[in-house]
A = this chain, B = another copy of it.
Amino acid sequence: MSVSPEAPSLARFLARLMRRSALTESEQAAILALPATVRCVAPNRDFVRLGERVDQACCVIDGLVARFDQNAEGDRQITALHVPGDMPDLYSVVQPRATSALQALSESTILSVPHAALRELTGDYPAIAEALWRDCMVDGMILAQWVVNVGRRDARTRVAHLLCEMACRLGVAPAEGRLVFQLPLTQQHLADATALTPVHVNRTLKALEVHGISFRHRTVRIGDWRALTAIGEFDPAYLQSDLRREDLIRIAR
C-alpha cells in the first residue's frame, strides 16, 4: 500500500542505465519518450507465464518482482529479484519467449513498454542498444552470484548475502552502522530465493538475531552493516553499481 513518490515514469530506469552507460541528451530523451502503460499487479500471481510469447517489456515502478522457475516436482526457485527501476524481462526484447514466470511479491506497480518501440530505439541509437545489452549483463552477473550463493554457502551466509544484495540494489546500504529498510517479501519468498525451506529460513533468521539482524513485518533491521557483510561474505563488486570512469564506454558512431 506504499505510495509511489513520483508519477510513474521511466526516469528511474534511465537513472539505472546512466550509472553504467554514457548516454547523450537526445538518447536520454528518446528513452523517456517511450510509450508505456501503467499497471498494478497483485502479489503471488504470474503476470508473465512460462513459455508465453510477450510483446512488451516491463519496468518495476514500485514493489518487488521475482522471476520464478521450478523443478519437475514443482518446488519453486526464485532466480531473480527486481527492485524499482529494474526491467525484469528486458531480455524479452531479443528473446520474446519467456523461459521463467514473473510474479510480484507484494502489490506492485509496473510500466509496460512495447517491444516495437524499444526495437525502434535500438535500431536508431546503437548506444542505447549497448546500454540495454549491458543492463541485461548486470542481471547476468547477479545471477552468477546467485549460483555461488545457493551452491556454496550455508544457510546463514546465504540469507545474510541476500539481505546485503537487496540493501545495495535498493540503494539504502550505508557505509557502516545501522540500517532499517522495507523488504516486501515473506519467509516463504526468502526460502524460494535461497533454496532453503521456509522452516529453515525461520531458524536462520532466529540465528541472525544474535548478531543484531532482524526481519519482521517486512522490515529489515541491521544493527551493524559491516557485521552483516562479514557474515554474508558480501563484496558488492559484482553489482557494477559504481563503475570507474574508464569503464564507462560507449560504442563508436
Residues of A within 8 A of B (CB): 51, 53, 67, 69-72, 75-77, 79-80, 91, 94-97, 99-100, 119-120, 122-124, 126, 129-130, 132-134, 136-141, 143-148, 150-153, 157, 195, 233, 237-238, 240, 243, 247, 249, 251-253
Q: A123-B252, A129-B126, A238-B99 are in contact. Are A69 and B145 (CB under 8 A)?
A: yes
CB of A129, distance to nearest CB on chain B (Å) = 5
Residue pairs across A and B with Cβ atoms less than 8 A apart, 24 shown, are A51-B237, A71-B152, A71-B157, A77-B151, A79-B144, A79-B147, A79-B148, A94-B130, A95-B137, A95-B138, A96-B249, A100-B144, A119-B251, A119-B252, A122-B126, A122-B130, A123-B126, A129-B129, A136-B136, A146-B147, A147-B147, A150-B150, A151-B195, A152-B195
| A153 and B96 contacting across the interface, CB-CB below 8 Å | no
Taking A94-B134, A100-B144, A123-B253 as given, write out 17 further A-B residue pairs in contact, using a Cβ cutoff of 8 Å, ordered by the A residue number: A53-B247, A67-B144, A69-B147, A72-B233, A77-B147, A77-B152, A79-B144, A91-B140, A94-B133, A94-B137, A99-B144, A99-B237, A122-B251, A123-B252, A133-B136, A150-B195, A151-B195
Total copies of this chain within the assembly: 2
CB of A12, distance to nearest CB on chain B (Å) = 21
